[in-house]
Amino acid sequence: MRDFKLYNRRRSIPPWFALLLSLTVFALDRWSKYIVETTLSFSDTKAVIPGFFDIVRSQNPGVAFGLFAQSNLPFRTAILIGFSVLAICILAVLLTRIRRWDRPTGLGVALVFGGALGNVFDRLHAGTVTDFLDFYVGTHHWYTFNIADTAICIGAGLLILSMLRPPHVT
């Protein structure tokens, strides 16, 4: 049993680091959205890399990639907030067990948690999520997204990689 604890201490991230990472993602997300919301109107476009990447201001009433954005459900926002809060609660419980996991799993959960907090804050505050990163080639645009979405995708990728990796045997 002692070897198991030493193994995890050496190969996992400390809980304080996971919390710091989550709060950093949340703070960067809030800061970037504040900058966009106070400097850009909905008709503004700031070309960063012409023909490939712009900063725009858009509001997403749906979830990732605009899912449910066109839905006319009367309680859409309340339902999305409810599911998001449930996901945050589950992630918070998972973070309390972070010493049991390897680094990629711990980092993945922390990134998803921070990103989820950022988007839930928007949804609770405004009923929509502010998106502003617009990548495209010609007339083909990827879905506009934000820092929180980026953290969630990277975190989910780390979790998938952790699941696909063979278990470490000591």
Active site residues: 131, 149
Integer Cα distance of 36 and 53 in angstroms: 15
The answer to whether the CB of 56 falls within 8 A of the CB of 43 is no
Angle between helices 15-39 and 103-126 (to 10 degrees): 40
What is the C-alpha separation between 148 and 55, in angstroms, rounded?
15
CA 54 – CA 103 distance, rounded (Å): 33
